[in-house]
């Protein structure tokens, strides 16, 4: 679904993995950035079309994120229900095998490691995560004028399409 009408010549230009070239999805022709620059339309029309395309893609991104959340919640609920039913059935059968023409329930033995007290284990058995930078705290200190080796505030110019 598009929020805006966008010139077909622009929307058919899909960037390739090489990062420099584009392909016209209708003709299959490979075009470069210069070809987009040469599209026969005035500057304002080109800017408007590309900005509207960005807004369409932002809308698509939001809708997809929403659907992703919905599916993730459904998946988690399904997984919890499956685990509840497996626990119920395991308690009901209590190790007994069961079979009919659609389903067979078998049992297998397995072993797993259970840690009862991590403090009593040798460091040989422990794994440590790489340190993570607290960018919020670091940013606050840099903004407060504290000089730190290995970090700096960098001013950027970010475009916003409304």
pTM of the predicted model, to two decimals?
A: 0.56
- pLDDT per residue as tens digits for the range 87-118: 999 999 999 999 999 999 999 999 999 999 99
Strands 13-15 and 98-99: unpaired
Other Cβ atoms closer than 10 A to 6: 18
For the chain, list residues with pLDDT below 70. 1-42
DSSP string, 51-102: HHHHHHHHHHHHHHHHHHHHHHHHHHHHHHHHHHHHHHHHHHHTT--EE-SS
Cross-strand pairs, 14: 23
- pLDDT the model gives residue 50: 80
Rounded distance, CA 53 to CA 59, Å?
10
């Amino acid at each position: 679904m598009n929020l805006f009408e966008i010139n077909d010549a622009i929307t058919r230009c899909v960037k390739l993995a090489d990062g420099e070239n584009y392909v016209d999805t209708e003709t299959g022709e490979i075009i470069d950035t210069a070809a987009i620059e040469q599209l026969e339309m005035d500057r304002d029309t080109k800017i408007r079309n590309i900005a509207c395309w960005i807004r369409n893609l932002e809308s698509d991104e939001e809708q997809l994120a929403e659907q992703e959340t919905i599916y993730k919640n459904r998946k988690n609920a399904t997984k919890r229900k499956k685990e509840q039913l497996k626990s119920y059935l395991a308690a009901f059968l209590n190790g007994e095998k069961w079979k009919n023409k659609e389903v067979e329930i078998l049992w297998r033995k397995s072993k797993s490691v259970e840690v009862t007290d991590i403090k009593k284990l040798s460091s040989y058995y422990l794994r440590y995560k790489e340190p993570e930078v607290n960018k919020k705290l670091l940013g606050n200190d840099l903004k407060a004028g504290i000089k730190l080796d290995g970090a700096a505030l960098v001013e950027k110019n970010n475009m916003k399409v409304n």
